[in-house]
Amino acid sequence: MVRLYLAGPQVFLSDWKEQADKMKAICAQYGLEGVFPFDKEVNTCGLAPQEIGLSIFHKDEGLIRSCDAAVCCMTPMRGPSMDPGTAVEMGIMRGLGKPVFAYSNDHRSFCHRTSELLGDAVETMPDGQLRDEYGLCLEHDTGFADNLMCDGMVLACGSKGVARPEHPIADDEESLKAEMFRNLEHFKTVIQEVATSMNVTKEDLGRYMKPGSHPPDAACADVHIDFMKHALNEASAAVENGNHPFGAALVVEGEVVLCAQNTVCTDHDVTCHAEMNLVRLAQSRFDGATLRCATLYSSTSPCAMCSGAIYWARIGKVVYGCEPSVLGEIAGDELFFPLRESMSGGVLHKVDVVGPVLGEEAAAAHRAFWPSLDVEC
C-alpha cells in the first residue's frame, strides 16, 4: 500500500508512541500505511553525540526514501515557525519528486505569529514593509501557515494547501497546550486528501492488501510506463531465446541507454538474471556519478542478489513491474525479498523504489510461462 512518512514535532512528545499509533490507525482507515520516524531504531552504543545525530539523520532519510509521500505537521514549535527538522524532511521528499502534504493546528498566519512574537520590535517603514530590530523585513503576509517556501512545497505538489483551523482549537491556554500537537482533526483531513489524490480506491485495496505488495505509485506511474515497456520487451525476448521472462532497462537523462534480459539457461549460470547482466554492462560503460542519477527498470521486482548488485553499483532508482508476491503465486516460489524496505536501509547509498508499474502486463508474461514449464534449465 501507499507509504506515508509522518513528519512532525510529535516525536518530542512524552506519549509519542500513543500519538503515532493513533496517526497510523487513521492512515489505515483509508488504505494507507503510516511510517513514523521511530519505526526504525538506531544503535547508538559507543557513538559520540554527533555520531548519534548523524545516524538518526541517515535513518530518517532512509525511511523518507522508502515512502511514497509525506504528511507533515507544520504546527509552530518553540517560536513562530514550524519544527526545522520537519521542514528539512519536507524538502528531502520534495527533492525526490514525491508529494508533500501538510497540516497545522494553529489558525494564525506565519506573518501574524511573527508580529505577535516581536511586538514593539517591529517597525512599519514608509514603504509599508515591516522590519525587525536588525533591519530585516518580515515576510509579506501571504496568509500562509509558515514560510512561503514551506507552504510552496505543499502547493507545488498539487495539494489544496496546508490544512488548518479557522479559529483556535481550544478556548483556554491549558487546553491549547494539551491539544496543539495532539489534535488530529486536520491530520485526518489531509489523509482523506492523500487517499483521493493518490487514487487509493476500494479496488486498489482489494488488489494490493496482500503481504509484501504495494499499489502503483500513482503520482509517478505515467512517467515510467514507456520505459517499463522496454524491460517487458526484454522479458519477452528472453523467453524467445530459451530463458526465463525477466528483462531490464537502464535510463539516463530520459533516454534508454542499456537493455538486458535473463540468460540463466543459455549461459548455464544462475547469476545471469536480467538485472545482474544490466549492472555488469552499466559498470563497464558508465562512471559512478552517472549511475547515481540513473534509473533501472525491471520487469519484476529484483531478487536479493540483484538488489545487492544494484545497491553496490550505486544506481539511484529502481522501478519494477511485477510484485514478488504475485510471481510467487504463479511460479510457486515463496522466497520474497522486501525490496522497498531493504533499499531504504543502506548507510552508504539510498536507492529510491517505485512500483508496481504495468504490474498486470508484467505478471501476464509469468502466467504464460511458468505453468507450461516442464523441465528447469
Place of cell 524491460: 231
Place of cell 531478487: 303
* φ/ψ of residue 68, rounded to 5: -95, -20
Which candidate, 282, 283, 259, 280, places its Cα nearest to that of 269? 280
Q: Positive or negative, the Cα torsion across 352, 357, 361, 367?
A: positive
Q: What is the DSSP letter of 136?
A: P
Q: What is the DSSP string of 248-301?
A: EEEEETTEEEEEEE--TTTTT-TT--HHHHHHHHHHHHS-HHHHHT-EEEEEE-
How many CB atoms sit inside 10 A of residue 292's CB? Answer: 15
Ordered alpha helix ranges (H), the chain: 16-29, 49-65, 84-95, 110-118, 148-156, 173-179, 185-197, 202-208, 221-240, 274-285, 288-292, 304-312, 324-331, 339-343, 359-369
Catalytic residue positions, numbered: 275
Whole-number Cα distances in Å, 371 to 198, 300, 368? 35, 17, 7
Q: Which long-range contacts (CB under 8 A, 24 or more apart) does 217-221 make?
A: 217/68, 217/354, 217/355, 217/357, 218/2, 219/68, 219/69, 219/98, 219/99, 220/97, 220/98, 220/354, 221/357
In whole angstroms, what is the distance from residue 195 CA to residue 282 CA?
Answer: 38
Cβ atoms 219, 98 nearer than 8 A: yes
Q: Positive or negative, the Cα torsion across 150, 153, 156, 161?
A: negative
